[in-house]
Structure 1
Amino acid sequence: MLEKKYFYIDGKWVAPAANVELPVIDPSTEQACAVISIGNASDADRAVEAARVAFDGWSRTDAAERLHLVERLLEIYKRRAPEMASMISLEMGAPIDMALSDQVGAGTYHIENFIRAFRDFEFERRLGPHAPNDRILMDPIGVVGLITPWNWPMNQVTLKVVPALLAGCTMVLKPSEIAPLSSTLFAEYVNEAGFPKGVFNLVNGDGEGVGTRLSSHPDVDMISFTGSTRAGIAISRAAAETLKRVSLELGGKGANLVFADADPSAVKRGVLHCFHNTGQSCNAPTRMLVERPIYDHVVSEATKIAEAVTIDAAHNPGKHIGPLASEAQFQKVQEMIKKGIDEGARLVVGGLGRPKGHQTGYFVRPTVFADVNNQMAIAREEIFGPVLSIIPFESEEEAIAIANDTPYGLTNYVQSTDGARRNRVAARLRSGMIEMNGQPRGAGSPFGGIKSSGRAREGGVFGIEEFLESKAVSGWASSQ
């Protein structure tokens, strides 16, 4: 069993203030695979103090120096990718092949995109020709608390840590206690890269302890949080007393609008995207809205695709989905499937209980409901499991209305070969992101939502600017 009981504070590995241990559970076996320490307010205070002391020097380093260190971090991250994949697979159940290609790969992708964006980033900007002696200076916001989730560990760690480093901020990272091993390994990478002491700090803990202390700490200037909407509200309340900036990337209930002229691969693409990472993605297209003329065909096709999805332990190679990340998540998904059945949705694939041959581990059956209406719990609540709800619509207007009738607003999807329709629909959908016909958003495109999905914008230039304050200066003396 792995022992990861120390925290990374002020450039060294230190023992926690109190000896409170927590097992990390392998979701494929339900057995403890590691043990960590759970920090408290005293540990958070130590880390914040280290970050506060380091801020003055780090914030004034040359941008080229910060870029060089992040480039060094990328080299280490790529070289040690297999280690990271093993940790992620072990702690949260991503199949090992997918953990390497997608989970670890997401971190590589984001670091590379931040490096590209930073090379042309301007910290000193002209206001305009009408005010030749005005400048807008972009200053690092200060000490930031970073609270990351368990479902895409390195995706979220790199989306927060790397732009904060480039911006000139110092930080304290609190990863999810469900999946802390990958972040502990990432701290090793930071240490190996040679960042100055106190710039990056890591404290393991839970939301009520370390998370609340970071959110309310008077010396923390910003909290960047990814997780549930419920937790985001709690963090906002805790942060209100100190008026710190709060950046939230929260839940989603994405609608996938499949029109009758959709391309032949649209349904398969939508089902597999919903089930990717065992459905544990905030931007998953979990509501498939289908135009009535092709509705029966789509339900039949979705059924066949879902039936062909294989399930296996995360440690085994292959293209399968793994378990859910925890017992709590397993119970939640079971409860939501039961709600769908009780509310009268037509269960066409999957259902309650574990799949055949997997009575140990947090495995669930890939599930598809048809004849769902948008008032059912399975259409309104974030399930975070491989559960797809198929909803019919009669017209473009109705499809837009159903898609927008949700408290969330993260990602929506449009499937149509009519370009004018795609553009028209995208303009009216209420969400931070729209993906159409399976084309992914470009490198550096901002990730984030509206409404109960939060207001963060992560990735590329937008992600760096999240960690900066604008300062307006008049009377600037131009260089000769």
Structure 2
Amino acid sequence: MTDLSKLPTGKLFINGEWRGPLGTGTHPVINPATEEFICQVAEGSAEDVDLAVEAARQAFHSWRNSTAQMRRELLNAIADGMEKRKEDLVQAVSQTLGCPEHITRWLHVDGPIYAMRYYAERTAEMEKTEKAGHSVLFREPVGVCGFITPWNYPLHQFVGKVAPALAAGCTMITKPAEITPLQDFVMAEIIEEAGVPAGVFNLVPGAGSEVGAALSAHPGIDMVSFTGSTRAGVEVAKAAAPTVKRVTQELGGKSPLIITPDADLEAAVRWGCEDVFINSGQTCTALTRMLVPAERYDEAVEIARQVAEDIAMGTNENAFMGPLSSARQREIVRGYIQKGIDEGARLVTGGAEVPSGLEKGFYVKPTVFADVHNDMSIAREEIFGPVTCLIPYKDMDEAIAIANDTEYGLSSGVWAKDAESAMPLVRRIEAGLCFVNGGEFNYDAPFGGYKRSGNGREFGEAGLGEFIELKSVQLPA
């Protein structure tokens, strides 16, 4: 097992150097599967953010003018470093988030390595020009960026911001979530070893109320990218508004999965349940509202019960689901389970009780609710735990109405007889993503939502576009 205690968690990475924070605050990191202490992480301050922004602004002048080939080589060197230290990254995420190692490897690490190489191959986009009548269009980097990343997919979201920003020629300051910060320290070491110039990448861990707020409001930052709750995203946008900086946000979701009458019900329900239970339900795109034809509802509920009760819990090689990320998150999920019962939903399986044999760790049973109405709290609010709700519908118009009756619009799913017959439904759902018949996440495609699920896109060509300013040069006609 990787010794995470060797990481320089008592320091910040600013201007190419590991240095002590200006304050004395620290934050403990706990293994949610064992409740054991892992390490203390230094907490940066607004003054540390000032230093990091100054370093990033100074570095931007030369980094923005670096060649696409230079940036391509550096991003590939970072990807090589990630491959070399893959087990460190697996352990950093698994031990702090609680996701079993064998799942962490493909769910949390393989994709980000691919994405880093993806953006290495797109650095040349910044050197392309376009004609528009008598004008020429240039692409330029947006500037100094502040990144606030979440705890549920910490490496995934780190790379989703850092890789395209580096490719575009931006400089940056990143703030990891307090409970899952260790992969950022591994990445900082990898970036340093790859030879990225000093000041281009800076790491300032700390509290959202301190470091996150300072990044959002800082006049020296040109763009802030935030992933987290809608509530916190609103505060980030408010703080950023006075300086008119660009803001991109990937926020909450309460996503529907529509199963059509002619679908393979067994396959659809099984996939839908596993989509919610993977990563212990801590996935913003989780399809937590399963919409089922009324005439097949009882059958679907029974399949969901069997799937949930067959889920292996723990952190060993046979486990599908680990603990929740923290004691606080466990209590939030337990509270929603009780609220579902209080509001009249039928608890099919699971519940708030401690799972047998898992008294240590922040575990919650895979939970299935039936007889759910779309006006219940468990159908409207993001639970962020292994809880799925089955809702019946009488016809497709009602299914679409229920699916779109939400303030969110991040993700969705349709399981139909085949992909072709699903497409008319896909076009009617108000969401930025749609998974059809079990389709997998694609790093080549844009990721982001409608409505209160945020604005902007990550990954794919659109992810690079978020870090680009277009300059229009008017030539003599």
Query: Secondary structure of 1:473's match?
Result: strand
Instruction: Say which SS state the counterpart of residue 156 (structure 1) adopts.
Output: helix
Opposite residue 212 of structure 2, the aligned amino acid is G
- Structure 1 Cα separation of the partners of residues 408 and 42 of structure 2: 34
> Could you tell which deviates more after superposition, 375-384 or 320-329?
320-329
Residue matched to 2:18: 13
Q: Distance in 2 between matches of 1:145 and 1:253?
A: 27
User: How far apart, in 1, do the equivalents of 2:418 and 2:159 lie?
Assistant: 37
Report the equivalent of 2:462. 462
| Aligned position for 1:471 | 471
* Structure 2 gaps, min length 5: none
Structure 2 contact 71–120 (Cα < 8 Å) conserved: no
Equivalenced residues, count:
471
Partner of 2:281: 279
Q: Kindly provide the CA deviation profile for residues 134-178 of structure 1, in whole angstroms up to 9, marking residues without a partner as x.
A: 111111011000000010111000000010000000000001011
Counterpart in the other structure of 1:145: 146
Question: Residue 88 of structure 2 aligns with which residue?
Answer: 83
TM-score of the pair, normalised by structure 2: 0.96
Extract unaligned runs of 5+ from structure 1. none
User: CA separation in 1, counterparts of 2:311 and 2:291?
Assistant: 21
Counterpart-to-counterpart distance in 2, 1:164 and 1:454: 19
The answer to whether the aligner puts 1:329 opposite 2:335 as a matched pair is no
| RMSD over aligned Cα atoms | 1.4
| Partner SS for 1:433 | coil
1:300-350 deviation per Cα after TM superposition (whole angstroms, max 9, x unaligned): 1110011000111x3x33332111101111110000000000011010010
Aligned to 2:218: 217
Q: Which deviates more, 110-119 or 375-384?
A: 110-119
Matched AA of 1:217:
H
Matches of 1:134 and 1:432 in 2, distance apart? 33
Structure-2 separation of matches of 1:425 and 1:44: 46
2:365 paired residue number: 365
> After superposition, where does 1:86-105 map in structure 2 within 5 Å?
86-105=91-110
Matched, 1:293 2:295: yes
User: Percent identity at matched positions?
Assistant: 44
- 1:124 corresponds, among 128, 136, 161, to 128
Q: After TM superposition, give the deviation of residue 442 of structure 1 in Å.
A: 4.1
Whether 1:178 and 2:179 are equivalent positions in the alignment is: yes
TM-score between the two structures when normalised by the length of structure 1: 0.96
CA displacement at 1:254 relative to structure 2: 0.8
Equivalent in the alignment of 1:242: 243
Confirm or deny: 8 A CA contact 1:333 1:384 kept in the other structure.
Answer: yes
Q: Distance in 2 between matches of 1:292 and 1:113?
A: 44
Of residues 301, 304, 314, the one that matches 1:302 is: 304
8 Å contact from structure 1 (residues 118, 461) kept in 2? no
Indicate the SS of the match to 1:18: coil
| CA distance in 1: counterparts of 2:28 and 2:220, whole angstroms | 31
Residues 226-237 of structure 1: pairs in structure 2 closer than 5 A: 226-237=227-238
Tell me how far 1:443 sits from its aligned partner: 4.1
- Equivalent in the alignment of 2:394: 394
Tell me the distance in 1 between the aligned counterparts of 2:233 and 2:284.
Answer: 14
Q: CA deviation at 1:351?
A: 0.5
Contact conserved, 2:123 with 2:168, CA < 8 A, in 1? no
Aligned to 2:135: 134
Task: Tell me if structure 2 keeps the 8 A contact 1:379–1:389.
Answer: yes
The answer to whether residue 353 in structure 2 is matched with residue 353 in structure 1 is yes
Corresponding residue number in structure 2 for 1:106: 111
1:64: Cα distance to partner?
A: 0.9
Distance in structure 2 (CA, Å) of the matches to 1:31 and 1:442: 35
